[in-house]
Amino acid sequence: MAAQSFSFSIDLPIRSEWANVDLLRTSVQNCFTAVFSDIDGCQALAMVTGELLENAVKYGDWHGQPGGTFRLRVWGEGTRNVGGGRSAHVSVESPVAADDPNVAALLATLEWIATFPSTRDAYRAKLLQIAEAPGDLIESRLGLVRCAYEGNCVLRAEVVDGTLRVTADSTF
């Protein structure tokens, strides 16, 4: 049987509410599970989606925009044969303040991850940092490193006209 190629996409404006993070994480996982047989890969992509959504809600600039929205895009391509190639991309866009230190920290974290030979090495280093930090000074920033490692992702980010876009590119 010949491999059947396909593409998929989800593009949604999302209300900035914490309850939507879990709803969308579960929805993305269910969509991927319905299409792909790789349950672990589907769970990893759902985790990446959830982490990026959490960051958008937590660090987005919602002043003057109560109940504001941000954007979730999930897209990719694949084949339906066993061992077939699959790629997926998760992108979350949210408004940010120009001087937000969290944006600088996010960009610095992505640069830090890139200094390691592998995302596994970055993940281990981050866990050691957390373990060695004094209890009252822990601000882990583990989520992005976890996405890169467990989600088998390359992460990138850009800020354009007050909008932060964080994208995870993954093969599974």
- Residue 137: per-residue pLDDT: 57
Q: How far apart are CA 101 and CA 96, in angstroms?
A: 10
What is the domain range of residue 130?
Answer: 5-171
Contact 83, 27 (CB under 8 A): no
β-partners of residue 69 are: 15
Extract the tokens encoding 142: 């583990």
Closest CA to 25 of 147, 157, 162: 147
Rounded to the nearest integer, the mean pLDDT of the chain is 88
Extract the tokens encoding 126: 């981050």
The domain that contains 124 carries what CATH number? 3.30.565.10
- Residue 93: per-residue pLDDT: 96
Q: What one-character DSSP code corresponds to residue 118?
A: S
Distances (CA, A) of 129 to 58, 109, 138, 144: 23, 13, 9, 15
Q: Cα dihedral angle (147, 150, 151, 153), rounded to 10 degrees?
A: 70
User: pTM here?
Assistant: 0.89
Q: What one-character DSSP code corresponds to residue 47?
A: H
Q: Quickly count: other Cβ atoms within 10 Å of residue 57's Cβ.
A: 19
**Which pLDDT tens digit goes with each residue over 101-158?**
999 999 999 999 999 999 999 999 999 988 887 766 556 778 999 999 999 999 999 9
Closest CA to 157 of 115, 121, 104, 100: 104
The residue that leads in pLDDT, 103 or 171, is 103
**Domain total of the chain:** 1
β-partners of residue 167 are: 91, 156
Instruction: Say whether pLDDT at 32 is over 90.
Output: no
